[in-house]
Amino acid sequence: MRRFLLALPFLAMLAAPVHAKDELVIGAAQFPPSLHPAIDPTVIKTYALAFVQRPVSAYDKDWKPVCLLCTELPSLENGLARIEDLADGKKGMAVTLKLKPGLKWGDGRPVTARDIAFTLKLAQNPDAGFSNTYPWERAASAEVVDDATAVLHLPRVLSDFMMWDQILPEHLEGPVAAAAAAPGAYIQTTLYNRAPTTPGLWNGPWIMTGYQSGSQVVMEPNPHWSGPKPAFRKVTLRTIENTAALQANLLSGDIDMVAGEGVGLTIDQALALRKQAPDRFTYTFQPSLTYEHIDLKLDSPILSDVRVRRALLSALDRQTMVTRLFEGLQPVAATWVNPLHPMHDKTVAAAKFDLPGAKKLLADAGWTPGPDGVCRKDGQRLSIKFGTTAGNRLRELEQQVLQNQWKAACIEATIKNEPARTLFGETLKRRTYTGAILYGWSSTVSESPRRTLGTDQIPSQANNYGGANYPGFSNAAMDAGIAQVESELDPEKASTGWAAMQRVYAEQVPALPLFFRADPHITPKWLRGYQPLGNGYYVGIFAEQWTSQ
Domains of the chain: 59-169 (3.90.76.10), 289-518 (3.10.105.10)
Cα(13)–Cα(128) distance, integer angstroms: 59
487: number of Cβ within 10 Å: 18
Note the pLDDT of residue 393: 82
Q: How far is CA 95 from CA 115, 132, 157, 286, 542, in A?
A: 16, 21, 10, 33, 25
Q: CA nearest 530: which of 256, 294, 201?
A: 256
Pairing of strands 65-67, 368-369: unpaired
Q: CA nearest 78: which of 60, 62, 98?
A: 98
What pTM was estimated for this model as a whole? Answer: 0.78
Phi and psi at residue 74, to the nearest 5°: -65, 140
DSSP notation for 323-369 = HHHHTT-SPBPSSSS-TTSTT--TTSPPPPP-HHHHHHHHHHTT-EE
Cα(351)–Cα(333) distance, integer angstroms: 9
Note the pLDDT of residue 3: 32
- Who contacts 268 (Cβ-Cβ below 8 Å, separation ≥6)? 325, 326, 394, 397
**Measured torsion, CA atoms of residues 381, 387, 390, 393, in degrees rounded to the nearest 10:** -90
Q: How many CA atoms lie less than 13 Å away from 122 in the CB half-sphere?
A: 33
Kindly state the greatest CA–CA separation across the chain.
99
Cα(253)–Cα(218) distance, integer angstroms: 18
Note the pLDDT of residue 132: 64
DSSP 412: E
Cα(214)–Cα(216) distance, integer angstroms: 7
Note the pLDDT of residue 193: 92
Note the pLDDT of residue 43: 85
Q: CA nearest 401: which of 320, 309, 494, 330?
A: 320
DSSP 405: H
DSSP notation for 160-212 = TTT---B---HHHHHHHHHH--STTHHHHH-HHHH-TT-GGG--SSEEEEEEE
| Tens-digit pLDDT string for the chain (549 aa) | 333 333 333 333 333 334 468 999 999 999 998 899 988 778 899 999 999 999 999 999 888 999 999 999 999 999 999 999 999 999 999 999 999 999 999 999 999 999 999 999 999 888 888 876 668 888 999 999 999 999 999 999 999 899 999 999 999 999 999 999 888 899 899 999 999 999 999 999 999 999 999 999 999 999 999 999 999 999 999 999 998 899 999 999 999 999 988 889 988 899 999 999 999 999 999 888 889 999 999 999 999 999 999 999 999 999 999 999 888 899 999 999 999 898 999 999 999 999 999 999 999 999 999 999 999 999 999 999 999 999 888 899 999 999 999 999 999 999 999 998 899 989 999 999 999 999 998 888 888 999 999 999 999 988 888 889 999 999 999 999 999 999 999 989 999 999 999 999 999 999 999 999 998 999 999 999 999 998 888 999 999 999 998
Note the pLDDT of residue 137: 83
Cα(270)–Cα(277) distance, integer angstroms: 10
Convert 10-71 into a string of H (helix), E (strand) and C (coil). HHHHHHCCCCCCCEEEEEECCCCCCCCCCCCCCHHHHHHHHHHCCECEEECCCCCEEECCEC
Enclosing H/E stretch for 236:
strand 234-239
436: left (phi over 0), alpha (psi -120 to 50) or beta: beta
User: In one letter, which amino acid is 503?
Assistant: R
Per-residue exposure over 508-545, b if at least 16 CB sit within 10 Å of its own CB, e if not: bbbbbbbbbbbbbbbbbeebeebebbbbbbbbbbbbbe
Note the pLDDT of residue 184: 84
Pairing of strands 234-239, 91-98: unpaired
Q: How many CA atoms lie less than 13 Å away from 21 in the CB half-sphere?
A: 16
- Who contacts 491 (Cβ-Cβ below 8 Å, separation ≥6)? 342
Note the pLDDT of residue 435: 97
Cis peptide before 520 (omega within 30 of 0): no
